[in-house]
Amino acid sequence: MLKITIAGIVFDAKFEEDKAPRTVAAFRAQLPYASKVVHVRWSGEGVWIPLGETDFG
C-alpha cells in the first residue's frame, strides 16, 4: 500500500507492480517524495505535480 497525503488528507493507493514493474521501481526509488500539488480546472478537476528536475528514467 501507498499513502499519499495532501493538505492533511490521506489517499490510499497501490503500486501495480505486475503491470508496470519498471515504472513502480522508478517511483519507489524516489520515495519518500515531497512536492507541491497544483489544483487545475481547465480540463475538469484534477491536480498537477511539478516534477522539476526529477528524473524517473
How is the chain split into domains, by residue range?
A: 2-48
Tell me what the mean pLDDT of segment 3-24 comes to.
Answer: 93
Query: At residue 44, what is the residue type?
Result: G
Look at residues 29, 49, 27 and name the one whose alpha carbon lies nearest to residue 38: 49
Contact 47, 39 (CB under 8 A): yes
Look at residues 36, 33, 41, 48 and name the one whose alpha carbon lies nearest to residue 7: 36
pLDDT digits (tens, 9 = 90+) for 22-47: 999 998 998 998 888 888 777 677 88
Query: At residue 35, what is the residue type?
Result: S
pTM: 0.67
Query: At residue 42, what is the residue type?
Result: W
